[in-house]
Amino acid sequence: MRIVILGNDIDGVGGAQRVAHSLAQGFALRGYDVDLAGIVPFEPRHEFVSEPAYRTRVLGDRPQPVREDEVGRERLRELCCSRLQELLREGPPGIIITTQVWAMEHLADVDHRGWRVIGQYHSSFEAAANGPELERLTRAYAEIDAFALLTDEDAREFQRTGLNNTCSIPNAVSFFPDRPAPLTTHMLTYLGRLSVEKGPQFLVEAWGRIAASHPEWTLRFVGDGPDEPVVRAMVDRLPEGAERISFHAPVSDPERVLLDSDLVVLPSLVEGFPLVLAEAMACGVPVVATDCSAGVRALLHDGITGLLAARGDAGSLSRALSAAMESRDLRVKLGSGGRLAARELLPDQVLNRWEELFRDVLR
């Protein structure tokens, strides 16, 4: 059976892109005929799979023009829809998975009769309801065969808006090391984008409160983003004794970074189903995260697979971090609990759920 996975872009360093490539490879290795297509190009291109068993293509010839360039945006849309139509006509119809709503809006403009369509959303209902996307999502996904959310809680919330085609399938972890992290480095790691919704400013404030009490610990930021200058400026203003902080560029091998960590922190204000938490758990690294989404709550059971802190509260975050930093026994317990829970997110487990959904929509 043919499967076409369609995303906004497929080459950027991001969770949606990584999941799309992982799904494409998993389906292809199970014998499906898989195409992974992006609406627009992204530079520099990031390689997610060293030996892909699927085909990739980019439909557009340039990034999306700015909103004011209506002529350029319309030209790009026409080109992408034309090339998408050609792709769908290259063989018999099967299943289309759209990983993002903009991709779904392009699919709606081409003839896809005979295809079954599954739409994904990689954030939470709360994020959609508090932003501009909820109306777009309910409009774009109302008539498709299935709308796949990342948690049961999100699926129920979208169902209450009138979408009766919701279901839930979590994202799979990209790796599951044979051995867990040794937890001997006293390294606290933030791995992700430096942007306001990810809450790095609360982490800096929390670190400033507890760093002097934990002189053996260091904090590293791995990633970049628009808020990096703001975060660095906050670090420069920290009191003496709290300067044990380093900044590192984004990495293509997060497994290495996680295995070299004693504790991973996610101080976000908004999340979907954060892979960094799932993958830290797979590595046996304890996690501290803010209670900011259904995805976090699905992954992290407070005191068992990690520690929860209040969202947007540096004091709550500092207390949770300090509790984990003070006790290696607690870190080992949380790391073991997280690693056990992460087995439910192994690729084969998640691909089995996708195949169950395929059977449902093909009936």
Convert the pLDDT of each residue in 287-324 to its tens digit.
999 999 999 999 999 999 999 999 999 999 999 999 99
Per-residue burial over 192-214, b = 16 or more CB atoms within 10 Å of its CB, e = otherwise: bbbbeebbbbbbbbbbbbbbeeb
pTM: 0.87
Question: Can you tell me the distance from the alpha carbon of 297 to that of 123, in angstroms, rounded to the nearest whole number?
Answer: 13
The pLDDT value recorded for residue 18 is 86
CATH number of the domain enclosing 90? 3.40.50.2000
pLDDT at 14: 76
- Number of domains observed in the structure of the chain: 2
- Based on the fold, state whether residues 325 and 353 are members of the same structural domain: no
Residues 140 and 240 in one domain: no
Ranges under pLDDT 70 in the chain: none
Q: Which domain holds residue 335?
A: 187-344
Q: pLDDT tens digit string along 232-262?
A: 999 999 988 778 999 999 987 899 999 999 9
- Predicted local confidence at residue 174, as pLDDT: 85
Asked if residue 207 and residue 96 are part of one domain, the reply reads no
State whether 320 and 355 are in the same domain.
no
* Residues 164 and 217 reside in one and the same domain: no
- Report the percent of the chain where pLDDT is more than 70: 100
Q: Tell me, yes or no, whether 254 and 306 share the same domain.
A: yes
Does 118 share its domain with 206? no
